Structure 1
Amino acid sequence: MESQPSSKVLHHRINTDISQLLQRFENIMATATVENPSYTSSAVETYQLDVESTALIRAAEDILALTRTMKETWLFGNLNTLGEDERDVQRREKLEKDAVAVQKAVEGGGLSKLAPGK
């Protein structure tokens, strides 16, 4: 499996796909509202509508592919959606080390030496 995308890459892709979808829809609406009785302009507008609708479908397919990628990343990868920075990583690692030290102390009977009356 290829490397998993980061949350920043996914956010950028989301924004790009949404803007493409909206732009294509706006282009279709702008073309559809033009009233011109000539056959030539009608043919050009029909072609333009065909091109824009194909691009709109492609943009929707891109969004569907993105949602699949996000699901795969959440299920099988380490998608960092919370935006954990270096300080958070160090804090989490320290907490994990402290938890291991407490576990070893409990298993080794080190805590019973601190509270001998119990």
Structure 2
Amino acid sequence: MDSQLTSRALHSRINNNISQLLQRFENIIAPTRFDHVDHTQTAVEAYNLNVETGALIRAAEDILSLTRSMKEAWLFEKLDTLGENDRDRQRNKELEENVQKVKGMVMKELSEGSKESS
């Protein structure tokens, strides 16, 4: 889970998994279009079906693994779901500092104003 959880890496992994699922599914469906009466060809197609099914299952398991790692990263705040970059974080930090300064000035004015009215 400590691997790079960047947006680009996650999108790349998702796209790779989707293309693998589609390719494996197409490879499973493609031989069903033709009728073969040759037992050898049927045996080869059965073997290829087993291989492609195993690869399809592995691709689905990889997607499940990806979703689990994304959930863990999100829960432990290692996944940036808001899309903030360093510039946004710096701007938010500066805004918070400015808010605290303004709050301090307002509180100071209020306390001075209450002293004058007393």
Question: What band does the TM-score fall into relative to the shorter chain?
Answer: 0.7 to 0.9
**Structure-2 residue corresponding to 1:10:** 10
**What code does the residue aligned with 2:77 have?**
G
Match of 2:110 in 1: 112
Which residue is 1:58 aligned to? 58
| RMSD (CA atoms) | 2.4
Give matches, 1:87-98, under 5 Å.
Answer: 87-98=87-98
SS state of the match for residue 100, structure 2? helix
Provide the secondary structure at the position in 1 that maps to 2:57.
helix
- State the alpha-carbon separation in 2 of the partners of residues 75 and 60 from structure 1: 23
**Alpha-carbon contact 1:7-1:81 (below 8 Å) kept:** no
Distance across 1 between alignment mates of 2:112 and 2:90: 29
| Separation in structure 1 between the aligned mates of residue 78 and residue 113 of structure 2, nearest angstrom | 41
Q: Distance in 2 between matches of 1:39 and 1:114?
A: 97
Deviation at 1:66, TM superposition (A): 0.7
Question: Which has the larger displacement, 30-39 or 84-93?
Answer: 84-93
Matched-pair identity in %: 53
Count of paired positions? 116
Aligned to 1:40: 40
Give the CA deviation at 1:71.
Answer: 0.5
Amino acid at match of 1:25: F
By relative contact order (CA 8 Å, sep 6+), the higher-ranking structure is 1
TM-score normalized with structure 1 length:
0.81
Which structure 2 segments of 5+ residues have no match?
Answer: none
- Structure-2 separation of matches of 1:8 and 1:93: 25
Q: 1:3 to 1:103 in 2, by over 3 A?
A: farther
